[in-house]
Chain A
C-alpha cells in the first residue's frame, strides 16, 4: 500500500523543514518526502495543494476518564476525538478512579487504547506521582515506568508538602522520568472557583489569587533547579508564572511548560452570567496575562500547547458555578483555536505552530513522535491541516462523549483534515472528495 500526500507544504520542525513537496507513506511508514516526488505507482493519492503536511500532533495533556468515569469519556471516544483533532499521540492524565498508580492500570489503558474500537492514536499514560494522588507517599514509579508511563503527575491534586515534592523529584531524576506539575498552593486557592479579580468581586464568587499558581510554580522550579529533575509545568495562566519559568530557564533548570487554548483565548470576563463552561483551572485571568502569554509563546518561554481536554457530563456542568467541575473539552478545537488566535495573527509562524503542537511535546516526554523522519516513529504519524478552512465549532458535532466546551459557536480558521497513524485514521468531511483519488 503506497499513499501519496501530494503537493502540500511540508512543515517538520524536527528537521527545521518548511518546503513545498509531497510525502509518501508505504506499508504504514513514511518512506520519502520532498519536492518533485511524484509517484505514479501510488495506490491512493491525496491532493494536498494549499494544505500543511505535518508530523502527527502530540497532546501532552488529555483526560480520558477511564477507568472510573465512562459517562464523561472513554478511551475509545477520547481517542476518536484525538484523531479528529489531528493528534496521533496523546498523554492521558492519572486522575482517574482509581488513580493511575499501579502497573495493571497502565496495562489496562494501553490495551484499551490499542483495541479496534479506539481511535487509532498512541496513548502514552502519565502515572500518579503519589499513591492515590494523596500527596504523601510516592507511587511505585519504577514499576510504573516499566509498565509504560512517560511521566508522573498528581494533576489537579498537586503535592503541597515541599519535602514530599523534593523526594519525588530526586527519585524521578534517578528514574529519568519527567514530572508534570499542576502548580497550585491550595492554602491560597481553597474554595475558589474563578480568578480573584474584578469579575469575582462583581459576581460574589470566591477567587483564586494568582499567587496560588505563582508560588507553586516558583517552588517547583527551584526544586527542579536543585534536584535536576525534569519538570513540565502544566497550563500556565499568569504573567507571573511565565516570569518564574523564564527565570528558571535562564538558570538552566530543566523546566518546560505548556499553555491551553482556554488561557490564551479568554479572560475572566468570558464567565459572563455564571457560565460554567468557562470555569477553568487555573482560572481564566486577565487581558495582561493573555498578552504576556502570547509574548511567551512567541519568544519560546512557553514550549508547547496542550488541549487539557477535560470532559464533563452536562448534569455536572449545569449546576451553580461553585459546584461545577473545572475544564473544557479541547481535542477537536485546539488546532483551530491555535491557528486562529496564534498563527493567523502572527504570534507563531507555521513552523513554530507545528513545533508547539507536535515536535516539542514529543521531545519533552521522549515520545517516538513529532517528526516525519523515516524510521523515527513506530509507524507513520502524519497530520494534514487546512490552514485557511473557515468553520464554526459545534459542540454537538464531536466524537467526545461530553459537550462542555468554551468554544461552542466560535468561528475558526484552520482545521486538521486528515490524520494518519500508520493508515488513515481520520478524514474530515471538509476534506473535499475531489482531492482524494483511490487507485
Chain B
C-alpha cells in the first residue's frame, strides 16, 4: 500500500499516533543497538529544490538506517534549471524507476503536485509556507518523551506564524492530539484570518505564554524586515524573545523548542537555548526516527510499532476529553 505524507492536516489522529509509535519503536531499537526491519531494494529520491542541511541529513540518516538507497537531486544542475516543469521532472523520476520521493520545495503545495504525478509514496520535507510534517512529528515525539503526554498541554507557537510551515504542521498535529494551541506574534507576521487554523491568536508575549507547558519558537527570517513587516531585530527581540525574564510567565517546567537554525539573541537568548528546559537537540535527533517512521509507513511496511509505547500509554491513562479538533 502506498501512502503519502504531504501534511499533518490531512492525517487522521490514529495515523499520527501510529507514526509516533513507529518513531518511538525505531528510536528504542537503534539506541539499544538492535536491528531494525529494512526496506531493501528500494530507492528513494531526495529532491531538495530549496537549500536544507539538517532536514536533508536527517532523511539521509533515516534512509540509511532502513537500508534504503538514496538518489540525490538539487535544483541547481538538474533539468529544472534548464526549464523543465516540475511535473515533467516528477514523471521522469517515476520512469527512472525511483520507488519514493522525499521533497523540499519553496512553493506551497509542490509536494501535493508531485504526489499527483508520481506513482509511489511522496514524503513532504517542507513545501513553501504550507507544511513540514516530519518536523512536527519529531517535535511531538520530543514532547511525548519530556512531558509524557500531548493531550491537555498548553502550547504557545511564537514568532513569524504567517511564513512558517513549522507553525502550521505543529499546530495541526498538537491540536489533533488534544493540546491547546496559541499563536503568539506581531500582527504583521500573523495571517489576516486564522479561522481555518487550529489555535487562538495572541499578540502579547506574556499573555500568550502564560501557563504554557511548551513554547515553540519560530525562526525569524531577516528578509521580513526588508519587506517592512517588522522594524528591527532589536524591536522583535524586545517584544518576543524567550529568555529567563519572559519564561517566568510560562510554567516552571515549560519546554523550550526551536526548529532551527536559531538566531541566538533574537528568538532565544543563550541561557534559554542551552538550559535544561531546552529540547532543541532532542528535536534534531528525534527527527531521524520519525522520518524513518514516515518512510516505513509510506512504503506500506507492516510489523513495527505494534507495541504501544509506555509513554503514550501512560499519557492515555490520565487523559482528559479526547480530540478537541477534528481533521
Contacts and interface: CB of A to CB of B under 8 A. Distances in A.
B194 A274 contact: no
B58 to A, nearest CB: 21
Interface string A40-58: 0000000000000000000
A255 B105 CA distance: 45
Interface in A309-336: 315, 318-323
A198 B105 contact: no
A66 B233 CA distance: 50
B85 A204 contact: no
A234 B53 CA distance: 47
Contacts of B128: 204-205, 320, 322
A320 B193 contact: no
Contacts of B162: 201
Count chain B CB atoms within 10 A of each CB in A197, A201, A321, A323 and give the residue with the most. A201
Contacts of B129: 204-206
Given A199-B196, A322-B108, A204 B165 contact: yes
B109 A274 contact: yes
Given A318-B85, A318-B87, A202 B107 contact: no
Contact of B191 (A200, A319, A322, A323): A200
A335 B127 CA distance: 39
Nearest to A205: B108
A183 B155 CA distance: 42
A207 interface: yes
A395 interface: no
A198 B105 CA distance: 23
Contacts of A201: 162, 191-194, 196-197
B176 interface: no
Nearest to B198: A202
Interface residues on A, range: 20 to 34
Contacts of A207: 191-192
Contacts of B110: 320
Contacts of A198: 193-197
Nearest to A207: B192
Nearest to A320: B107
Q: Most chain-B Cβ atoms within 10 A of its Cβ — which of A199, A202, A209, A318?
A: A202
A273 interface: yes
A273 B194 contact: no
Among A202, A203, A320, chain B packs the most CB atoms within 10 A around the CB of: A320
Given A200-B191, A273-B112, A315 B87 contact: yes
B79 to A, nearest CB: 15
B197 A202 contact: yes
Given A204-B130, A204-B131, A315-B85, A320 B192 contact: no
Contacts of B191: 196, 200-201, 207
B107 A321 contact: yes
B203 interface: no
B113 interface: yes
A201 B87 CA distance: 25
A209 B193 CA distance: 11
B136 to A, nearest CB: 14
A190 to B, nearest CB: 11
Given A199-B196, A200-B191, A323 B112 contact: no
A400 B277 CA distance: 62
Interface string B107-132: 11110110001000000000111110
A205 B162 CA distance: 9
B291 interface: no
Interface in A196-241: 196-207, 209
Nearest to B161: A201
A203 B108 contact: yes
A319 B128 CA distance: 14
A386 B137 CA distance: 56
A92 to B, nearest CB: 28
A322 to B, nearest CB: 5
B42 interface: no
Nearest to B128: A204
B192 A196 contact: yes
B86 A319 contact: yes
Contacts of B107: 320-323
Contacts of A196: 191-193
B56 interface: no
A197 B193 CA distance: 5
Contacts of B127: 204
Contacts of B85: 315, 318-319
A209 B162 CA distance: 14
Contacts of A315: 85, 87
A199 B191 CA distance: 10
A320 B196 contact: no
Contacts of A206: 129
B108 A319 contact: no
Contacts of A202: 9, 168, 196-197
**Most chain A beta carbons < 10 A, residue from B108, B129, B131, B195:** B108
Given A205-B108, A315-B87, A320 B195 contact: no
B11 to A, nearest CB: 14
Contacts of B193: 196-198, 201
Interface in B186-204: 191-197
A320 B80 CA distance: 13
10 contacts: A196-B192, A198-B197, A204-B129, A204-B165, A205-B108, A274-B109, A274-B113, A319-B113, A320-B86, A320-B109
3 tightest Cβ-Cβ pairs between the two chains A and B: A274-B109, A201-B191, A204-B129
Interface of A: 196-207, 209, 273-274, 315, 318-323
Given A205-B129, A274-B113, 17 more contacts: A196-B191, A196-B193, A198-B197, A201-B193, A202-B9, A202-B197, A203-B130, A204-B127, A204-B165, A205-B130, A273-B109, A273-B112, A274-B109, A315-B85, A318-B113, A319-B86, A322-B108
